[in-house]
């Protein structure tokens, strides 16, 4: 069995490694020559615990080979990003380009699977692209959609143990894809059609977005009402059927802050709640920005000088180095743009340097600042003690005060 993985990013590379580790001959393909070269040397180009030694092993044993172009195989997997364009419209151009790149190599009996998060109907559309170029293959290859659902940081465990949803354009395609995943997935493989599987992925992340929006909305209400939101949520969660998530300074990352738009773009009339959740979570970051700016103004009025401000954390969630779609980064940018003369220290302990922000050590920033805004609850910040002589804006619930 030989399979080609198109896209060696945060999901494609770990899946390729785990599939190779299960004994399948894997060819990993990426258009980025640097990624290919590094992977060929057995060097991991992403941060993911436990994956480096596994990569080295499968490269050394010849089970994983990296290239910039596909080769004839039994199965092809599309694992490339699907960002959004202006107006939050999904951009499936990478999926289409990756699909087109494998078309010359497709043979009768092959399996073709899309894993990239995609709007409903993408798998059917890509089948149309394939058969448009290779009409002789119509009905002779097996096409399916099987979304990834792993949590960065826990990818090895989740790739093996999570259940998978496998949507075939035909029952045969779903069965064929399921027997591929059965080589390395211990979770249950649930078969369905491609459109259901596409929407299922979008719904999983939208569900989390809506739940976080509820927590963020509560934080706004509590702020006005003078109630501690952390205590409120902890108490409400004592109810056996209530499980409210935690508020923060908004929702970031390339999944939860993006995928709901794939639903709202296609079903605008029917997805009011999903759209509102996006607005609430986006608004929460603006609200935090205003809170910081107001605290700075108030400080200046009271003390007759500008405050020193520490903005703590740029990553989109705790203990990672990923700044994509990060609300903390947005807040830091907006605060800095609004007061160009102020003394602002930006802190991100998980990265060494940043091309826009000059980074300060977290202890130094905490010591020096008059106003401290905690944007991301990194573990380093949890070692700091509350100080009554500072104005602390605890947006991510570090002290739960
Ligand atoms: N967040 C909160 N409050 C919470 C939980 C999270 O504000 O109580 C924020 C985080 O700070 C972050 C954002 O939400 O900004 C998203 O973080 P996350 O940990 O919820 O999720 P991701 O983006 O790292 O991964 C999600 C996962 N999806 C679900 O849990 C439904 C993962 O399983 C998916 O595979 C991944 O998206 C993906 O690739 O789609």
pLDDT 10s digits, 26-84: 999 999 999 999 999 999 998 888 999 999 999 999 999 999 999 999 999 999 999 88
248 in contact with ligand 1, CB cutoff 6 A: yes
- Gap between the Cα atoms of 82 and 95, Å rounded: 7
- Note whether 184 and 19 are within 8 A (CB): yes
By C-alpha distance, which of 268, 281, 327, 334 is closest to 87? 268
C-alpha 207 to ligand 1 mean position (Å): 10
253 in contact with ligand 1, CB cutoff 6 A: yes
Instruction: Give the list of residues 6+ apart from residue 86 with CB closer than 8 angstroms, or none.
Output: none
For residue 245, which atom of ligand 1 is closest to its CA?
8
The rounded percent of the chain whose pLDDT value lies above 90 is: 93
Burial class (CB in 10 A: 0-12, 13-18, 19+), 39: buried
Task: Provide the pairing of β-strand 142-145 with 111-114.
Answer: parallel
152 in contact with ligand 1, CB cutoff 6 A: yes
Burial class (CB in 10 A: 0-12, 13-18, 19+), 119: buried
C-alpha 90 to ligand 1 mean position (Å): 19
For residue 152, which atom of ligand 1 is closest to its CA?
24
Sheet with 308-312, side-by-side order of all strands: 343-347, 308-312, 371-374, 391-394
256 in contact with ligand 1, CB cutoff 6 A: yes
What per-residue confidence (pLDDT) applies to 336?
A: 93
Segment 154-168 shows an average pLDDT of 97
252 in contact with ligand 1, CB cutoff 6 A: yes
Quick one: pLDDT band at residue 352, thresholds 50, 70, 90? Answer: very high
C-alpha 244 to ligand 1 mean position (Å): 14
Question: Hey, whose CA ends up nearest to atom 9 of ligand 1?
Answer: 251
342 SS3 class: coil
The residues assigned a catalytic role are 201, 255
151 in contact with ligand 1, CB cutoff 6 A: yes
What per-residue confidence (pLDDT) applies to 192?
A: 98
C-alpha 256 to ligand 1 mean position (Å): 6
Instruction: Tokens for 79, please give them.
Output: 């694992």
- Note whether 116 and 94 are within 8 A (CB): yes
Question: Burial code of 239-277, b = ≥16 C-beta within 10 A, e = fewer?
Answer: eeeeebbbbbbbbbbbbbbbbbbbbbbbeeeebeebbeb
150 in contact with ligand 1, CB cutoff 6 A: yes
User: pLDDT, tens digit, for every residue of 260-290?
Assistant: 999 999 999 999 999 999 999 999 999 999 9
By C-alpha distance, which of 259, 265, 269 is closest to 210? 259
- Note whether 313 and 242 are within 8 A (CB): no
149 in contact with ligand 1, CB cutoff 6 A: yes
User: pLDDT, tens digit, for every residue of 313-340?
Assistant: 999 999 888 899 999 999 999 999 988 7
Instruction: Tokens for 194, please give them.
Output: 């491609």
Instruction: Give the list of residues 6+ apart from residue 157 with CB closer than 8 angstroms, or none.
Output: none
| DSSP state for residue 390 in the 8-state scheme | S
- Gap between the Cα atoms of 15 and 26, Å rounded: 10
For residue 209, which atom of ligand 1 is closest to its CA?
14
C-alpha 389 to ligand 1 mean position (Å): 34
What per-residue confidence (pLDDT) applies to 320?
A: 86
- Is 355's pLDDT higher than 80? yes
Average pLDDT, the chain: 96
**Mutate-to-test residue for ligand 1 from 317, 320, 375, 396, highest number of ligand atoms within 8 A of CB:** 317
What per-residue confidence (pLDDT) applies to 127?
A: 98
- Gap between the Cα atoms of 393 and 294, Å rounded: 11
Instruction: Give the list of residues 6+ apart from residue 348 with CB closer than 8 angstroms, or none.
Output: 313, 314, 315, 323, 354, 357, 359
- Gap between the Cα atoms of 284 and 220, Å rounded: 8
C-alpha 150 to ligand 1 mean position (Å): 10
The alpha carbons of the chain give a radius of gyration, in whole angstroms, of 24
What per-residue confidence (pLDDT) applies to 341?
A: 60
Instruction: Tokens for 319, please give them.
Output: 């203990």
- Is 85's pLDDT higher than 90? no
Reported pTM: 0.93
Question: Hey, whose CA ends up nearest to atom 3 of ligand 1?
Answer: 246
Question: Hey, whose CA ends up nearest to atom 38 of ligand 1?
Answer: 255
C-alpha 117 to ligand 1 mean position (Å): 14
246 in contact with ligand 1, CB cutoff 6 A: yes
For residue 252, which atom of ligand 1 is closest to its CA?
15
116 SS3 class: coil
Given the structure tokens 């990239």, which residue do they identify? 116
């Amino acid at each position: 069995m030989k399979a080609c993985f198109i896209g060696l990013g945060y999901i494609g590379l770990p899946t390729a490694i785990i599939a190779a580790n299960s004994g399948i001959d894997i060819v990993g393909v990426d258009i980025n020559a640097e990624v290919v070269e590094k992977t060929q040397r057995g060097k991991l180009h992403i941060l993911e615990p436990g994956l480096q030694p596994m990569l080295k092993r499968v490269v050394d044993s010849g089970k994983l080979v990296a290239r910039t172009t596909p080769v004839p195989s039994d199965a092809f997997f599309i694992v490339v990003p699907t960002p959004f364009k202006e107006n939050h419209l999904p951009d499936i151009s990478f999926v289409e380009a990756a699909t087109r790149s494998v078309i010359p190599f497709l043979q009768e009996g092959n399996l073709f699977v899309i894993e990239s998060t995609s709007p409903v109907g993408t798998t059917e559309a890509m089948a149309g692209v394939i058969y448009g170029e290779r009409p002789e293959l119509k009905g002779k290859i097996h096409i399916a959609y099987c979304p990834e659902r792993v949590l960065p940081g826990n990818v090895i465990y989740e790739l093996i143990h999570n259940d998978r949803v496998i949507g075939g354009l035909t029952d045969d395609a779903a069965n064929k894809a399921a027997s591929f995943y059965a080589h390395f997935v211990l979770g249950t493989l649930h078969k369905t059609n491609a459109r259901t599987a596409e929407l299922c992925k979008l719904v999983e992340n939208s569900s989390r977005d809506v739940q976080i929006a509820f927590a963020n909305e509560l934080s706004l209400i509590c702020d006005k009402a003078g109630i501690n939101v952390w205590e409120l949520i902890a108490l409400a969660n004592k109810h056996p059927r209530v499980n409210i998530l935690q508020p923060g300074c908004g929702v970031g990352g390339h999944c939860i802050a993006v995928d709901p738009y794939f639903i709202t773009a296609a079903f605008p009339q029917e997805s009011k709640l999903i759209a509102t959740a996006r607005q609430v979570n986006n608004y929460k970051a603006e609200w935090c920005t205003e809170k910081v700016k107001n605290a700075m103004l108030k400080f200046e009025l009271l003390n007759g000088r500008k405050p020193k401000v520490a903005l703590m954390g740029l990553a989109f969630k705790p203990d990672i180095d990923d700044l994509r779609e990060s609300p903390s980064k947005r807040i830091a940018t907006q605060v800095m743009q609004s007061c160009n003369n102020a003394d602002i220290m930006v802190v991100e302990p998980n990265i060494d340097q940043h091309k826009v922000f000059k980074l300060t050590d977290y202890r130094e920033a905490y010591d020096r600042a008059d106003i401290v805004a905690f944007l991301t609850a990194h573990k380093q910040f949890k070692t700091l003690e509350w100080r009554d002589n500072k104005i602390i804006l605890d947006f991510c619930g570090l002290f739960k005060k």
